[in-house]
């Protein structure tokens, strides 16, 4: 079964229903429990998105128009989504509860089947509560085949795309996934530490929250103020490569180096219960660039210690990615030291080259070809 919302009862068999559109022409209504919707990222059962980048993919024959009907759990007054047609750029578009026509340029569409990818791009206020999808008369969903290469990224603001105009869609993890023609899921929360502590408005750290459906925004919502264990069986296909870049907020909250290493090792041990053999890539900090002088680093040498410790335990599928020198003051927003658009592009390019040198090659083509 494709990932998404669990199907129950008659809903499993009710794939499409028809209603009268303009001048009595039948439009195609796709309910949110349709198994031909390929959900990615983390969705609750409403169904609604959590975490930056969560969304869905559609493979549609005879497409000329598309609208989303969104429910009351959608962020008000609007939520920014990225829309990609046939693997083109993700263009930003605001949607809100109710009916939303999604702009589709005729020049982007092809005869036959088209691939539409839609995701919530924000690191907060990113709820999309999908109720149904309306397609033009004669259009129909066909199966979407996911890529065999799947990245799972884990991190904080430096991975979630905080401060970028189009959020995670412009961030280095997303760009890396796109460059390799891979499926990619980003579980990253600005301000969060890896340690399960309060940090910059987050009530939990990633060592807890990664194993939950909801991001830490759950704490501030009135309709959904709890956390639900994430069922990793919903990640289909399972990640083939795991990338972790975290620790800045642990350092900012004065977590000692020894305590951080202990938390990190316990976190990796839990990950190995899910990703039993997949390569895990541990990023060192690229540091906080300064206007003059060298970058300010944290937990110097401790990331190598984490990797070496896992090697000693017999885990040879964990690798250190030394990012020293990847980011300079010219690559960040001066007022917050986070990478800007060009900075994220630079990081993505450097990591892509690192992966290629390591031995991972991009897919020759997307698995579902428009």
Which CATH number is 60's domain given? 2.60.120.260
Residue at 32 is within a domain = yes
Does pTM surpass 0.85?
yes
User: In this model, does residue 7 exceed pLDDT 80?
Assistant: no
Q: Tell me the three state secondary structure of residue 73.
A: coil
Contact (CB, 8 A) for 279 and 239: no
Q: Are residues 262 and 337 in the same domain?
A: yes
For residue 291, give both structure tokens.
């206007």
Output the CA–CA distances (angstroms, integers) from residue 36 to 3, 147, 232, in the order listed. Answer: 10, 16, 20
At residue 10, the pLDDT reads: 29
How many domains is the chain built from? 2
Does residue 363 form part of some domain? no
pLDDT at 224 (0 to 100): 86
CA dihedral 311, 314, 319, 324 (to 10 degrees): -10
pLDDT greater than 90 at residue 289: yes
pLDDT band at residue 233 under the 50/70/90 scheme: very high
Task: Decide which of 142, 165, 187 is a domain's last residue.
Answer: 142
Among 4-13, 45-54, 331-340, whose mean pLDDT is lowest? Answer: 4-13
Verify that 192 and 82 share a domain, yes or no: no
pLDDT value at residue 14: 34
Query: Nearest 5 degrees, angle CA 48-CA 50-CA 51?
Result: 155
Worst-scoring range by mean pLDDT, 7-16, 138-147, 306-315? 7-16
Residues 28 and 137 sit within 8 Å (Cβ to Cβ): yes
Q: Tell whether 136 and 154 lie within a shared domain.
A: no
Average pLDDT, rounded, for the chain: 93
Q: Are residues 116 and 231 in the same domain?
A: no
Statement to judge: residues 235 and 276 lie in one domain: yes
Q: Do residue 196 and residue 342 come from a single domain?
A: yes
- On the question of pLDDT at 325 being above 60, the answer is yes
1 inside domain: no
Are residues 163 and 133 both part of a single domain?
A: no
CATH code (residue 306): 3.40.50.1110
Supply the range of the domain harboring residue 128. Answer: 9-142
Among residues 81, 113, 142, which one ends one of the domains?
Answer: 142
Residue 235 lies in a domain: yes
Establish if 277 belongs to a structural domain.
Answer: yes
Instruction: Please state, in angstroms and as integers, the Cα–Cα distance from residue 309 to each residue in 220, 268, 313, 316, 363, following that order.
Output: 38, 11, 6, 10, 32
Q: State mean pLDDT over 14-25.
A: 42
Are both 260 and 325 inside the same structural domain? yes
Strand, helix or coil at 183? strand
Same domain, 154 and 291: yes
- For residue 92, give the 3-state DSSP assignment: strand
How many other CB atoms sit within 10 Å of the CB of residue 225?
11
């Amino acid at each position: 079964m494709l990932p998404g919302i669990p199907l129950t009862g008659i809903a499993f068999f009710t794939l499409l229903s028809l209603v009268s559109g303009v001048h009595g022409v039948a439009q195609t209504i796709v309910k949110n429990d349709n198994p031909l919707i390929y959900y990615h990222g983390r969705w609750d059962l409403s169904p609604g998105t959590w975490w930056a980048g969560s969304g869905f993919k559609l493979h549609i024959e005879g497409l000329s128009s598309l609208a989303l009907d969104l429910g009351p759990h959608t962020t008000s007054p609007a939520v920014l989504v990225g829309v990609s047609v046939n693997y083109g750029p993700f263009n930003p578009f605001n949607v809100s509860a109710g009916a939303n026509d999604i702009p589709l340029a005729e020049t982007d569409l092809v005869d036959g089947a088209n691939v539409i990818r839609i995701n919530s791009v924000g690191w907060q206020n990113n709820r999309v509560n999908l109720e149904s999808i309306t397609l033009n008369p004669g259009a129909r969903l066909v199966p979407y085949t996911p890529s065999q290469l799947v990245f799972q990224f884990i991190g904080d603001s430096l991975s979630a795309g905080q401060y970028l105009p189009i959020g995670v869609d412009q961030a280095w993890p997303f760009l890396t996934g796109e460059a390799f023609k891979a499926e990619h899921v980003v579980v990253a929360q600005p301000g969060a530490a890896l340690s399960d502590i309060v940090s910059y408005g987050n009530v939990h750290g990633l060592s807890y929250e990664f194993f939950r459906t909801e991001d830490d925004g759950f704490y501030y919502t009135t309709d959904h103020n709890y956390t639900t264990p994430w069922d990793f069986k919903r990640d289909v296909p399972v990640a083939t490569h795991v990338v972790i870049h975290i620790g800045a907020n642990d350092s900012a909250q004065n977590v000692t180096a020894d305590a951080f290493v202990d938390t990190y090792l316990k976190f990796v041990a839990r990950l190995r219960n899910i990703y039993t053999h997949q390569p895990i890539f541990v990023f060192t900090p690229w540091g906080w660039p300064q206007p003059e002088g060298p970058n300010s680093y944290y937990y110097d040498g401790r990331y190598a210690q984490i990797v070496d410790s896992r090697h000693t335990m017999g885990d040879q599928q964990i690798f250190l990615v030394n990012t020293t020198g990847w980011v300079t003051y010219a690559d960040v927003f001066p007022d917050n030291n986070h990478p800007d658009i060009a900075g994220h592009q630079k990081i993505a390019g450097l990591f892509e080259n690192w992966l290629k040198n390591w031995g991972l090659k991009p897919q020759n083509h997307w698995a579902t070809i428009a």
